[in-house]
Amino acid sequence: MEDFSSCCVSTKFANEMVMASPFSSLEYVITVARDIWFLKLNVRSWLEAILGRSCSNKYLKTANEANMQELHKWGSMHEEKFEYVFVTCVAGKTSEDMLN
């Protein structure tokens, strides 16, 4: 289970992968993982997976304190309103881009 938990922190996903193993090929494990993700998991499991990932995006490492505070403020307002974190892809974007 530890191997599966290291790639996805959703407990249900890891348990389902353990029950489906061993796998005969990489293609098969990808198919099984996709089926589990879309057919056996619910929104709570998806959120568990998302919330368990650490944020190591480049824009966070280079953002100034004011931008970090502003990003945190907007993220907190979103989480308070919708009860889950805001997730976005920011590849190639700066903290300033995120705030505009």
**Segment 31-88, tens digit of pLDDT:** 999 999 999 998 888 877 877 765 555 556 667 788 778 877 888 888 888 887 776 6
The CB-side HSE value for 43 (13 A sphere, CA atoms) comes to: 3
Please state the rounded mean pLDDT for residues 22-32: 93
∠ CA 9-13-14, nearest 5°, is 70
Please state the rounded mean pLDDT for residues 86-97: 69
Residue labelled with tokens 């348990």: 15
| Type and span of the H or E element at 50 | helix 43-51
Contacts of 57 (CB under 8 A, 6+ apart): 90
Residue 23 pLDDT: 93
Tokens of 2: 């530890």
